[in-house]
Amino acid sequence: MDQEQYTVADLMTNPSFRAWADQSDEKARAHWEQWLAAHPDRHDDVNTAFTLLSLLKENENGPSPEDMLEMQDRFDTTLGRQRRMLLYRWTAAAASLLLLITTGILFNNRSTTIHTGIAMTKEVNLPDGSKVLLNANTTLKYKGHEVWIEGEAYFSGEHHDLKVHTGGMDVAVLGTAFNIYNRKQQIEVLLESGKVNVTGAGWAKNAGTLHLTPGEMIHLDATNKMMTRINPETFTSWKNGRLIFKNTPLYKVAAILEENYGFHVRWKSTKLQMERFSGSCPLDNTDILLAAIRSVYNDQLIVQANHTIVFE
């Protein structure tokens, strides 16, 4: 569609416009500010779209009748009666469409989906009052007392009959703090405090049920199941803004660089994958980590263009 012909509803459902409204994309901001400068007559439409998006963000479960009345009152002072009546009719449709697209809400089966991009973290408040901190490149969906996670997340707070699904595990939670990692059919559940019951599901439905105690972690992949005791502080250091590695195989360090930061890793020596690395860096500064690996392994790490890392 020609952007000059955009309606308010079109603006509200445009991903780039929403990124500008959320102040989450500098490129989108530059684009739309330039567009608005070229179309000053659309200033009212842009302000209207911003107002509606703000109201919808405040009420993620959908606009209530009170919200809709508040929208109408706001427009009373700036819009003519005829335009306001037309606006009221498409506001409800546009708001519903926006929620359907961005959060997957269906009025008879409500759920919310949230995704973090590369090198991003985000804290989410669940309906029961507990909190989830999402690591980079992670997708969370929740509906009622059920949560689905793909990526990595740290759960904390008082959970009330919460059940977490990973595709290969179902985790029944009883007032606890725990970390879940779920990528490429590898699942790890680390219990920091409280209690969880872990049951195999989906592709791992024959894994049985295990009861974790604080400090225990279960690792599950397509071939085996293993439970170990580890230092939770090291494993969940990312939630405190740092990456900490203690005698960690390089292939696991490389996996974090790929999954969380978008690097492409190539290995010229498979032997190097099993070498061990210890060190730490701020979560938002992988340059320090790469420099440390390079110094330990005698420049066997090369960073190339296009975010590519080569281990020689």
126-136 pLDDT tens trace: 887 889 999 99
Q: What is the pLDDT of residue 103?
A: 45
The three-state secondary structure class of 161 is: coil
Q: What is the pLDDT of residue 82?
A: 44
Assign domain 112-232 one CATH number from 1.10.510.10, 3.40.50.720, 2.60.120.1440, 2.30.40.10: 2.60.120.1440
pLDDT tens per residue across span 66-96:
454 455 555 454 445 444 444 545 555 555 5
Q: What is the pLDDT of residue 234?
A: 85
| Residues ≥6 apart with Cβ < 8 Å to 102 | 18
The three-state secondary structure class of 50 is: helix
Residue 245 phi/psi, 5° resolution? -120, 130
Q: What is the pLDDT of residue 84?
A: 46
Q: Give percent of the chain with pLDDT exceeding 70.
A: 76
User: Quick count: other Cβ atoms within 10 Å of Cβ 16?
Assistant: 16
The C-alpha atoms of residue 270 and residue 257 are separated, in whole angstroms, by 17
Residue 216 phi/psi, 5° resolution? -95, 150
Q: How far is CA 148 from CA 100, 132, 184, 240, in A?
A: 18, 12, 15, 23
Of the listed ranges 85-89, 111-115, 247-251, the least confidently predicted one is 85-89
Domain at 241-311: CATH code: 3.55.50.30
The C-alpha atoms of residue 258 and residue 306 are separated, in whole angstroms, by 13
Which secondary-structure segment (H or E) carries 102?
helix 81-103
pLDDT at residue 205 is higher than 70:
no
- The beta strand positions in the chain, using DSSP E, are 112-115, 122-125, 131-134, 139-143, 146-156, 162-165, 169-183, 186-200, 209-212, 216-220, 225-229, 242-249, 264-267, 276-282, 301-304, 308-311
Place 143 in a pLDDT band, splitting at 50, 70 and 90: confident
pLDDT at residue 206 is higher than 80:
no
Q: Give percent of the chain with pLDDT exceeding 90.
A: 26
Of the listed ranges 82-86, 91-95, 117-121, 159-163, the least confidently predicted one is 82-86
pLDDT winner (highest mean) among 1-5, 47-51, 110-114 = 110-114
Q: What is the pLDDT of residue 304?
A: 85
The C-alpha atoms of residue 164 and residue 180 are separated, in whole angstroms, by 9
Q: What is the pLDDT of residue 74?
A: 57
Q: Classify residue 240 as exposed, middle or buried by CB count within 10 Å of its CB (0-12, 13-18, 19+).
A: exposed
For 97-118, what is the mean pLDDT?
A: 61
pTM for the whole structure: 0.63
Q: What is the pLDDT of residue 245?
A: 93
pLDDT tens per residue across span 167-196:
778 898 876 899 999 988 788 899 998 888
Say if CB 119 and CB 136 are below 8 A apart: yes
Residue 288 phi/psi, 5° resolution? -65, -45
For the chain, the average pLDDT equals: 78
Q: What is the pLDDT of residue 162?
A: 86
